[in-house]
A and B are shown apart, each in its own frame.
Chain A
Amino acid sequence: MAERKSIEETKTALHDVVREMYDRIVKGEPPTMTLPVRTKNNIGFDPKLGVYKYGKKQTIRDATSLGSAKQLLRALHVIEFIESMINDGKSSTLREMYYISEGWGLGKFQSQNESNNLAEDLEIVTRCLREDFKLRPEEDGARMIGNLTLRERNRRGEWMRINARDDVGDSGYGVPYNVEAEKIEFLEHDINFIMAIETGGMFDRLVENGFDEDFNCALLHLKGQPARSTRRIMKRMSEEWDLPVVVFLDGDPWSFRIFASIAYGAIKTAHISEYLATPTSTYLGITADDILAYDLPSDDLSKKDIEALNAELSDPRFADGWWQEQINMMLEVGKKAEQQSLAKYGLDFVTETYLPEKLQQLGL
């Protein structure tokens, strides 16, 4: 499924969506759009792909209420817009599309969230990627530092060879929004693993301390919930170079979710999990037991934190024993801790003590 579609395939897939609405009207029924349920209740593990995918539950969006009817109309406008971009050889950002929708009258979007969601809906129904739709995210890609070399095709269409340690400044190599083969090729590397890091502060700390060179790894700054291109580049590097990925996050319920989206696939993008998720990645920390073992400065869990943890207990992605234990432990302790709380023991503690100990446990 996650193969790139040709222009004709994309158009046909989009027309099928339109056809469903049209045919229903001809039959004297309200127009509809059928799509999978996009909640945690409808994701299941796909053993073949090793990631979580949408299940069989379908929802029919029909035009019997004003809200859904407007959604259908918007979908038609978006399809028309995509077609015109395909025909003209243009592309636009999701945000640009949101502003362009100002001219769509009744089909105009009320918020950018709506337009992003609809683009995803269309991806799911048509089994295309938004790259096929010529829609780009606004989102900020990750930064990366480490001894690896790739080539990227620049604006002028020329390939540029870049070493992500020697050819970049302290902020590292900036991952572009498109990391597909037509844009990026991996050339060579001298690293043993990739470490994905949640916060910029911790990324900079590891860079300053020369962690990447001491431990022969690539450091990747996730910037919170990682963008699609960030997850995609991790997936490609891990797969093409056969490298393990370790994920170093804050110790709170939201970090657990970030990890789940990296390792198993996000609920919102479960239709392309096999394309974005890296099932071989490992959660390094901060774990609930780290908070106790290292006696880290911590904050009490908020009401929202507790709700999130409880929701995770029933999330199929966290069904395994280790996760259940971690979540329950965090609920029991009632505490959460940030990555940077390790600084309690000095600036070098993280690189000299904590990470070596944790990596050793993982056998790296």
Chain B
Amino acid sequence: MRVRLYDVAHARAGDKGNLNTVALIAYDPAWYPVLCAEVTPERVAAHLADRVVGEVVRHRLDNVEALIFVCPRGGDDTVTTSLWLDAHGKALSSALLEMVVDVDEESAPSLPARPGGAAPPTGGE
């Protein structure tokens, strides 16, 4: 089944100079191994290629079920000299959560419930 990261994880972006950190945090620890397997640095680099230039490095924080992606931008795309509307790259957290991954239906953990009570819509296109 196809799952949008937005349905199983939350994210926060930070910035330093011309790079962004984007953290991806599983709502349910059961999804963390799936994120580790599917959300590779190569896939993140391709997904964010509009803004991210060069190699993405991934760090695992197994202690809090989070992945940190370190995403470089162009040399002239710094927070001060960028011509992008979002000079910091803060909204990249939302861009990452738009990624859709393929997960084996039988081994997939159940999708986390939303605070409102309704189950999230299954991702897919």
**Are A and B subunits of one complex?**
no
